[in-house]
Amino acid sequence: MTSVEATIIVNTGVEQFRSVKIGSSLSLEQKNSLMALITECLDVFVWSYEDTAGINCEIVEHYIPSMPTTS
């Protein structure tokens, strides 16, 4: 999967490497602001399968609707 804009990988982790991709065309102020927000909200991201324990499957599962007459 490719993005429309070029991205850079940044480390948001303190104790271990947690990478996210952000737009490379952001200004330094925008990058700093975004990184501050991401760092502040690290607990809302799922970094591994183990992080999903206890989450109701109805919230995180998706399905692809298809026509009943097709296989």
Cα-based distances in Å from 21 to 7, 11, 40: 6, 9, 16
66 found inside a domain: no
Each residue's pLDDT tens digit, 12-63: 877 778 888 999 999 999 999 999 998 888 888 877 878 788 888 887 777 7
- pLDDT for 71 equals 61
Pair 41, 18: CB distance under 8 Å: no
How many structural domains does the chain have?
1
Reported as a pLDDT band with limits 50, 70 and 90, residue 1 is low
Tokens of 47: 């970094």
Pair 6, 23: CB distance under 8 Å: yes
40 found inside a domain: yes
69 found inside a domain: no
- pTM as predicted: 0.61
18 found inside a domain: yes
What CA–CA distance (Å, rounded) separates 27 from 17? 24
Tell me the one-letter amino acid at 10: V
- In the numeric block, the tokens 């480390």 are attached to 11
70 found inside a domain: no
Q: Which domain holds residue 52?
A: 7-60
